[in-house]
Chain A
Amino acid sequence: MAKTLKQRLAEVNEYEREPVPDSQLKTSKSFLGMYAGEHTAGTEYVIGPLFVAHGVSAADLVSGLLLGNLLAVLSWAFLCAPIATKLRLTLYYQLERICGINLTRLYNLVNGLMFCFLAGSMIAVSATAIGIPFNFPMPKLTDMYPTSIGWVLTVFAVGSVITLVAILGYERIAKFANVAAPWMIGVFLASAIAVLPELGVNSIGNFWSVANEVIWTGIPLEGQDKFTFWHVLFFAWFCNMAMHIGMADMSILRYARKWTHGFTSAAGMFVGHFLAWMASGILYAVYLKQNTGEFAPGPISYYAAGFAGAACVVIAGWTTANPTIYRAGLAIQAMMPKTTTWKVTLVVGLVTTMAACFPALVMRLLDFVALYGLILMPMGAIIFADFYLAKQFGFIANYALRSGSEFNVAAALTWVVTLAFCIGLNMFASIEIFFLGFPGWFIAVIVYVALSKLLQQKNLKEVNV
Chain B
Amino acid sequence: MKTLMSIVAVAALALTLIPAILVFQGSIDLALHKQLMAAGTLLWFVSAPIWFRKKAS
Interface residues of A (CB under 8 A from B): 175, 178-179, 182-183, 186-187, 189-191, 193-197, 201, 305-309, 311
Contacts and interface: CB of A to CB of B under 8 A. Distances in A.
A194 B26 CA distance: 10
A306 B16 contact: no
Contacts of B48: 179, 182-183
A307 B37 contact: yes
Contacts of A175: 52
B41 A197 contact: no
A306 B35 contact: yes
Chain A interface, >50% SS class: helix
A175 B49 CA distance: 9
Nearest to B34: A306
B38 A186 contact: no
Nearest to A178: B52
Interface string B19-34: 1110110100010011
A176 B16 CA distance: 19
Interface of B: 12-13, 16-17, 19-21, 23-24, 26, 30, 33-35, 37-38, 40-41, 44-45, 48-49, 52
A194 B23 contact: yes
Contacts of A194: 19-20, 23-24, 30, 33
Contacts of A309: 34, 37
B41 A189 contact: no
Contacts of B23: 193-194, 197
Contacts of B52: 175, 178-179
Nearest to B23: A194
Instruction: Select the residue from B16, B21, B26, B30 with max chain A CB neighbours within 10 A.
Output: B16
B41 A308 contact: yes
B27 to A, nearest CB: 11
B14 to A, nearest CB: 9
Closest 5 CB pairs of A and B: A306-B34, A190-B20, A308-B37, A194-B20, A193-B20
A189 B20 CA distance: 9
Contacts of B45: 179, 183
27 contacts: A175-B52, A179-B49, A179-B52, A182-B13, A182-B48, A183-B13, A183-B41, A183-B44, A186-B17, A187-B37, A189-B17, A190-B16, A190-B19, A190-B37, A191-B20, A193-B24, A194-B20, A194-B23, A197-B24, A197-B26, A305-B33, A305-B34, A306-B34, A306-B38, A308-B16, A308-B34, A309-B34
